[in-house]
Amino acid sequence: MRDFANSLPLTVTVLDNHALNPGDNPFPKIPGIASIESWPRSTAFQAAERALNADIVITNKTPLSAAMIDKLPCLKFIAVTATGYNVVDLAAARSRDIPVSNVPDYGTSTVAQFTMSLILALCHRVETHAQSVTAGEWVSSPDWCYWKTPQVELQNRILGIVGFGRIGKRVAELGYAFGMKVVYASQQRSEVVTIPAEQVSLEKLFQDADVVSLHCALTRENRGFVNRERLRSMKRTAFLINTARGQLVEEADLAAALREQTIAGAAVDVLSEEPPSPSNPLLYAPNCLITPHIAWSTLSARQRILQATVANIGAFLSGAPINVVN
């Protein structure tokens, strides 16, 4: 790999910085880079034009297809400001000896925390009750208290975690702190477990768990594995949580399970299409909480992404790129 430290100045183009910096997280200076051209958002057409003379392109969700990469004659390095890198055609980049680096570990704590917030939201519907008080229902209540939804205690319930990587293990620790029994399904047995946790089959996990939380990567094999059959194997009182990838779930099947009260509720931060189509069945399903893919988005996490991206670029400039995915 060539050392670019003495080939400056190199040009850097950021195609979609708004997700990381809506105004509170400016891109830090990169040693050896004089200036950065940063755009809040870019369409595919705009990206080709804006990155035409760029040596380094930084993207979060703006696609870099094979055709796009072919249109960028100066391109030498691609930095993805996320863990997922499916927005880049890795083979096309590899064919031109262009390294692609991602940020593999920035959101463990924040995604795990958000996962627990979704579980607690289904257990207590805090906002529903707060809004009812604001609307005057407590003022006019004949009783000293009331609840509009069942209140669920997590103590002694079973938390089933699908995928036992960094985030899955952190969710397990948080669930255990609430007094939950933890079971997990994973293709490999984890050697680093800080709490009592039992590895079980995927079938047993769905059958036994009171809360099923998805934390696995999306693969060809598991796309849509949460389907009608698997949902019907769950307890009628169970919750499904998804902060991983929307394509893991057959959304029409989940919507039907919620309508038919096959399970008690679901909370998802990811959908198969983002932003969703107005026809997405989960938008109209009962007892379904949907958040706009924000589990990763705390300021602390976004700052870590930028810091790691600067480190990725610095390593590339020195001739020893890190976190390369192609």
Catalytic residues: 245, 274, 293
Contact 201, 178 (CB under 8 A): no
According to DSSP, the residues that pair with 182 across neighbouring strands are: 159, 197
Residue type, position 101, single letter: S
The dihedral region occupied by 102, where left means phi > 0, alpha psi between -120 and 50, and beta the remainder, is beta
Q: Using CA atoms, how far apart are residues 231 and 266, in angstroms rounded to an integer? A: 11
Which tokens belong to 100? 């692609």
Q: Using CA atoms, how far apart are residues 214 and 24, in angstroms rounded to an integer? A: 30
Contact 74, 48 (CB under 8 A): no
Strand, coil or helix: 305: helix
CA distances for 299 relative to 127, 149, 295, angstroms? 23, 32, 11
Strand, coil or helix: 52: coil
Torsional sign, CA 133, 136, 137, 140: positive
Spatial CB neighbours of 50, under 8 Å, sequence gap ≥ 6: 13, 15, 37, 39, 42
Q: What are phi and psi of 141, to 5 degrees?
A: -75, 135
